[in-house]
Amino acid sequence: MELVMKNLLKIGELSKESGVSIDTIRFYEGKGLINPTNRSEKGYRYYDSVTSSVLQFIVSSKELGFTLSEIKDLINIKINKNGKCSFALDKIKEKERDIDKKITELKKI
């Protein structure tokens, strides 16, 4: 088991690699956005290198205005729908319509 853990990142290493705080990683894990690849006998979390990319995707998506629920949907599309672009594109277009509606409402003010 120790050989397998060598290729995985501890939560602190993941934090440094992704630029996301440990507390935020735990928060996203609690929301079901990410999951540890493995846990040690002592309960330490271990993540694969893909998780760093997922965290960066989450941060970028939040900056674009997506909610955590919407981000979770996008992540699930990638995982469960084998990355079918049409599903993701539908979600992105829906968000675009929401933003356009908000812009229109702001202009009225």
pLDDT in tens, 32-74: 999 999 988 898 899 998 899 999 999 999 998 899 998 998 8
pLDDT tops 80 at residue 107: yes
- As a whole number of Å, the end-to-end CA separation of the chain is 61
pTM of the model: 0.74
Distance CA 17, CA 63 (A): 19
Give the pLDDT score at 3. Answer: 44
Give the pLDDT score at 1. Answer: 45
Distance CA 108, CA 66 (A): 23
Mapped onto helix, strand or coil, the DSSP state of residue 46 is strand
Name the H helices within 7-84: 11-18, 22-30, 50-63, 68-80
Give the pLDDT score at 23. Answer: 97
Give the pLDDT score at 21. Answer: 96
19 DSSP 8-state letter = T
pLDDT in tens, 85-95: 677 778 788 88
